Homo-oligomer: A and B are copies of this chain.
Amino acid sequence: MIALHDPAFRVVLDYAGVAVFAVSGAVAAARRKYDIVIFSFFAAVTGIGGGTLRDLLIGAPVFWVGDAGYVAVCIAAAGAVWAVGVKTWRMPALLWLDAVGLSAYAVVGASKAASYGVSPLVAVVMGVLTASFGGVVRDVLAGEPSVLLRKEIYVTAAVAGAGLFVALRLLGLPDLWAGVIGATAAFILRGGALKFGWTMPRFAPHDDDGG
């Protein structure tokens, strides 16, 4: 049986997630017309930032330090975006790529943290951080408003995906199914936010509630 925290399987997912996020980082660099080195820098920060934070927090060796393949994937992603040109990868594509990465990483991050023995709640937090931190750093470095703070659902999708994965595992579902269901739920939520503008209820100040 393939287990989601089976190292080999997770490596494949990790590579896919890194590649998708790296492309989104390179596209952000393309929009500002940076050079190829900055392309690679943005691709790497976005691609491996979230997993790096997760590994530092759970005390795991940082996943890309012992395996040069991850950095190579980021550089390749930067080169591909440069070569293909931004016309093919406009804003909408960037956002959908980001949605794929967000969904995959929420589950992968929670799974790796769980394999290090953290409690369910902390595993969910790790999934959310893994999924969102790369994009946050990309936006801070680029001086853009954080994707985190947009009106449409974003972090909520990661919370739902990681939370569903952890809950289904606790209920005894095999990791693989829990992961597929969690990632799918996250993607539907984020996709709905992109396509239909789904939002969460926002805070309304109580200043005028007669108090």
**The stretch of A5-13, A167-175, A197-205 that contacts the partner chain:** A197-205
Q: Is A1 an interface residue (CB 8 A)?
A: no
1/0 per residue A170-203: CB within 8 Å of B?
0000000000000000000000000000011111
Interface core residue of A34, A65, A82 (most chain B CB under 10 Å):
A65
Interface bits A60-72 vs B (CB < 8 Å: 1, else 0):
0110111010011
**Residues 107 to 139 of chain A near chain B (Cβ within 8 Å):** 118-122, 125, 128, 136
Minimal Cβ-Cβ distance residue in B for A30 = B203
Please, which residues of chain B bring their CB within 8 A of the CB of A140? 140-141
Contact among B36, B59, B206 with A200 in the assembled complex (CB-CB below 8 Å): B36
How many monomers of this protein are in the complex?
Answer: 3
Expressed in whole angstroms, the Cα–Cα distance for A204 and B86 within the complex equals: 9
Q: Are B35 and A201 in contact (CB under 8 A)?
A: yes
Please name all residues of chain B whose beta carbon is closer than 8 Å to the beta carbon of A122 when the two chains form the complex. Answer: 64-66, 68, 71
A residues sitting closer than 8 Å to B (CB atoms) are 29-30, 32-39, 41, 44, 52, 56-59, 61-62, 64-66, 68, 71-72, 82, 84-88, 118-122, 125, 128, 136, 140-143, 145-146, 148-149, 155-156, 159, 199-207, 209, 211
Task: Jot down 6 A-B pairs with beta carbons below 8 A, ordered by A.
Answer: A37-B156, A37-B159, A57-B62, A66-B122, A68-B122, A141-B146
